[in-house]
Amino acid sequence: MLSFRLTCVMGMAVQFNNPELQAKVEQWVAQTGRSADELVEDAIAGYFDELAQVRSTLDSRYDDIKSGKVKLIPGEDVEAYFREKSAAPLRSHNS
């Protein structure tokens, strides 16, 4: 889980508990010339946009399954399919 602490002093200072993440933010600040608060705000906005898109996709797929529009394939069938697919090149190579 991402853990960070935000403190406000003349804007927003960003301090992460994870030193590697803090270093990445500082690197992006140096490379882009943007402030840390701008970068973090953009990252969080993008995260929530992506989360909403994933949620919408999952809801749609669930509705398709529930309505019968999409049929589920048993896990054993999927596993057998991929085992066969993986074994086919080995058999032709050994022949």
Task: Taking residues 6-17, report their average pLDDT.
Answer: 60
CA 49 to chain centre: 12
**Statement: residue 6 has pLDDT above 60:** no
**Statement: residue 2 has pLDDT above 50:** no
Proportion of the chain above pLDDT 70, given as a percent: 79
Phi and psi at 2, nearest 5°, equal -75, 125
Residue 9 pLDDT: 38
19-61 pLDDT, tens digit per residue, is 999 899 889 999 999 988 899 889 999 999 999 999 999 999 9
**Tokens in use for 32?**
């882009």
pLDDT-derived band at 94, boundaries 50, 70, 90 = low
Three-state SS for 11? coil
